[in-house]
Chain A
Amino acid sequence: MNQSFENIKQYIEQFEAFEKTLNGESKTPFHEIRRGAIEQFSKLGFPTAKDEEWRFTNIQPIIKTKFKTHFNKKIEAVRKEQIEKVIIKGIAETRLVFINGYYSDEYSINNITNKDIKVGCLSETLQNNFKLIRDNIAHISKYDKNVFTSLNTSFIHDGAFIFVPDDTTIEEPIYIVYISSEDQTPFITHPRNLIIVGQHSKVSVVEHFVHLSDNIYFNNAVTEIAAGENSIIEHTKLQSESAKAYHIGTTYIHQSKGSKVTQNSIMIGGAIVRNNIISILEDEGIECTLNGLSLATGQQLIDNHTTIDHSKPHCASHELYKAILDGKSKGVFNGKIYVRKDAQKTDAKQTNKTLLLSDEAAMDTKPQLEIFADDVKCTHGAAIGYIDADALFYLRSRGISEEIARDLLTYAFADDIIEKLCCEQIREYLHRILHSRLKQGRELEKL
């Protein structure tokens, strides 16, 4: 038996066990989506280092690990105080909490009074909103030959489901928290979120991945966002997994005419992290903004892959990804921008900036622009460097200590992204994290 089959075998077996727990549901058309996905999964197999898409990111530790899984809704006792400690407070009226991949009714809050807005968990809404979900789930993702997405789709069971009807504005952000707390380790979950936003509607969604214990686990997450015509969406993914955790996630964004989507990817936890953002701009007058901030230290590996696909004229995309790498950490950035033949007057700008705080940290960056239209404005730039010596001297020449000056400059580098986030509580949360990671953070906080 070859190596690659050994590696996928555990998932095939898990799928069979999963099917048994579904009872009648395994006969429904919905389950066909899962069946198709597991087939695709076994055909694709796991990538190797030779695979261009994974050249800089060694995922052998993930592939080789035997993960435990569970398909019943039994959630071990997690105390309220534990949860309070890891979530961001005051951020939202509406909060969906998932513990080890399963929705927790106990800790979730839903204060939305408009009955046409649907905010809940996939497992419970699947029956009531069957058509809506079936028509939208795996809609864009199925075209992506990403083995981890296939794996996620095979195991779709729970996650957030958000449906905002036309002409509806939700002022407060919707806060989705994934809490990993399992003592049995290593374990795997496949969170699946579906966000459907109608025409002229506006919403902000925050996905937050946190942990209660420093375990090895694997979150294999997928989010799909369907942005209706002229909708305005802010989606923030805040990944703060345990230092031993693996996180591979893809956010698929499908944008309709005139829509404005801002996706923020804040990656601060995890041992091996791969964050994929795929934006499909399928009509005219679309704006797509991608912001990224990765903070890595120790042996962390944080890989961000983004794809923006311009297919129609008069669309704009702005992308700014930043990374701060300390210790022996490693960062990867790959930014693909496709400008199709019809996509005249495209305005695409991509910037990737990395601040290295140690000699042993390393960054691999690769912009990948494929432009088939002639009347477009596309720019890209990448910069990797240490703290700016001139700026450091300038600050020190005013009496500021070298350590504080370094931290001030590091903080400012990160804050460039943080200040773009709409939600004040998240900005504050990230400021606190930054302060706690900087050597002179306490001094900075006093300023």
Chain B
Amino acid sequence: MLEIKNLYAAINGNEILKGINLKVNAGELHAIMGPNGSGKSTLAHVLAGRDTYDVTEGELIYNGKNLLEMQPEERAREGIFLAFQYPVEIPGVSNTYFLKAALNSIRKHRGLEEFDAVEFLLHMKQKMKLVEIDQDLLNRPVNEGFSGGEKKRNEIFQMAVLEPKLAILDETDSGLDIDALRIVADGVNKLKRPDNATIVVTHYQRLLNYIVPDFVHVLADGQIVKSGGKELAQELEVRGYDWVR
């Protein structure tokens, strides 16, 4: 589904990603772990198409297409979804309105009939149950005044509504209490399908008690320094990041 080949990326001339190689197949769940500042969010944003990062070398192939030539919205319509580490507050744009615009642009791109107000509402209702989010939150402007946990839950809700093929969750677990963590993890597990893939970016192994990865990669200083199965996460928990550096 996704192939990252020798990816180098820089911001304001500072090289942050220094030759990343990674292959993600449909049905797989990958965890990317690593200390603060190692480049995890950079990688996530580069995948989503943020233009503040310059890709200086390498390739991103997604379902046979060159991702680097695609605008962020095209990537989203092709099924890429980034759950932000720091979801953005958008005053004046209601969650529902925003999600309807997003979903319909994706559906249109996929040759599906756009949802009308009623169809959209039904779709929302169904997904709301899945991630246990309040209606009240959805009527409010996107993320505005949301608590940290509410923002994270809203990211997972958006993921549920938009039904991506490749979801990248950037530290969706950080700042969550145990209950919220379980709900978020539940959401991810329920949304898992043989034809989609998930990359979970995390700092702690805590989330991986609830979401069981097929592969774990350790990112340090812009490079994947170690890859393995789910045991690697537990080993990291015990031995700390210094072990891999």
Contacts and interface: CB of A to CB of B under 8 A. Distances in A.
- Most A CB contacts (10 A, CB to CB) among B75, B77, B93, B142 go to B93
A413 interface: yes
B35 interface: no
A395 B109 contact: no
Contacts of B71: 396, 402
B50 interface: yes
B88 A402 contact: no
Interface stretch (B3-11, B61-69, B97-105, B198-206): B97-105
Interface residue SS majority, chain A: helix
A298 B82 CA distance: 38
Contacts of A416: 91-92
Contact of B49 (A397, A404, A409): A397
A116 to B, nearest CB: 42
Nearest to A393: B50
B71 to A, nearest CB: 7
Given A399-B102, A399-B109, A394 B73 contact: no
Contacts of A43: none
Contacts of B81: 397-398
Contacts of B197: none
A369 B92 CA distance: 29
Nearest to B51: A393
A396 B51 CA distance: 12
Given A393-B50, A400-B101, A408 B106 contact: no
Interface in A45-95: none
B72 A396 contact: yes
Interface string A423-447: 0000000000000000000000001
B42 to A, nearest CB: 14
Interface string A406-423: 001101110110000000
Contacts of A447: 97, 100-101, 104
Contacts of B84: 394, 397
A110 interface: no
Contacts of A106: none
Contacts of A390: 88
Interface residues of A, number: 24
A394 B90 contact: yes
Contacts of A391: 88-90
Interface string B93-122: 100011111111110010000000000000
A404 B100 CA distance: 13
A395 B100 CA distance: 12
B91 A399 contact: no
A400 B90 contact: no
B1 to A, nearest CB: 18
Nearest to B87: A394
Contact of A409 (B77, B93, B104): B93
A399 B88 contact: no
Contacts of B196: none
Given A404-B101, A412-B93, A396 B88 contact: no
Nearest to B105: A399
B93 A398 contact: no
A412 B109 contact: no
Nearest to B103: A399
Contacts of A401: 73, 105
A393 B101 CA distance: 15
Contacts of B162: 398-399
Interface string A93-134: 000000000000000000000000000000000000000000
B172 interface: no
B101 A408 contact: yes
B106 to A, nearest CB: 4
A2 B193 CA distance: 84
Contacts of B89: 391
A180 B49 CA distance: 51
B97 A398 contact: no
Contacts of A398: 73, 76, 81, 98-99, 102, 158, 162
B100 A400 contact: no
B241 to A, nearest CB: 29
A400 B93 contact: no
Nearest to B93: A412
Contacts of B97: 447
Contacts of B51: 393
A412 B91 contact: yes
B207 interface: no
B48 interface: yes
A412 B97 CA distance: 11
A391 B92 CA distance: 12
Given A396-B49, A399-B77, A412-B93, 10 more contacts: A394-B87, A395-B93, A397-B50, A398-B102, A398-B162, A399-B105, A399-B106, A408-B98, A412-B90, A447-B104
24 contacts: A389-B52, A390-B88, A393-B72, A393-B88, A394-B84, A394-B142, A395-B98, A395-B102, A396-B71, A397-B81, A398-B73, A398-B98, A398-B162, A399-B102, A399-B105, A401-B73, A408-B101, A409-B93, A411-B92, A412-B90, A412-B92, A412-B141, A413-B92, A416-B92
| Complex A-B, nearest 9 residue pairs according to Cβ-Cβ distance, in ascending order | A412-B92, A399-B76, A398-B102, A394-B88, A396-B72, A399-B106, A399-B105, A396-B73, A412-B93
Interface of B: 48-52, 71-73, 75-77, 81-82, 84, 87-93, 97-106, 109, 141-142, 158, 162
Interface of A: 388-391, 393-402, 404-405, 408-409, 411-413, 415-416, 447
